[in-house]
Structure 1
Amino acid sequence: MTIYRYDLDKDGNPTGNTYQVVVTANTETVTKKITYTVNFQGAGDQTPAPITKTVTWTGVINSASNGIELRSADANASGVWTPDTTDIAVDVPEIAGYTADKTKVFTDPLAQTTTEPTDQTVTVTYTKIDTNVTTKVNFVDENNEVVGSIDKTGEATRL
Structure 2
Amino acid sequence: MDLLWAYEQAPPSGRGLAAVGALESRYRIQLPDDFRAYLLEAAPDKDWWHDQYYFVLWAPERIKSISDECGEPKPEEPLNPQIDNDRYLVFADFLDWCGYAYAICCSEGPDRGKVAMIGTRPHRLVAVSLASFFKLMTEDSMRLHSPGGDHYTDIT
TM-score range, shorter chain: under 0.3
TM-score (norm 2): 0.20
Structure number with higher helix proportion: 2
Structure number with higher strand proportion: 1
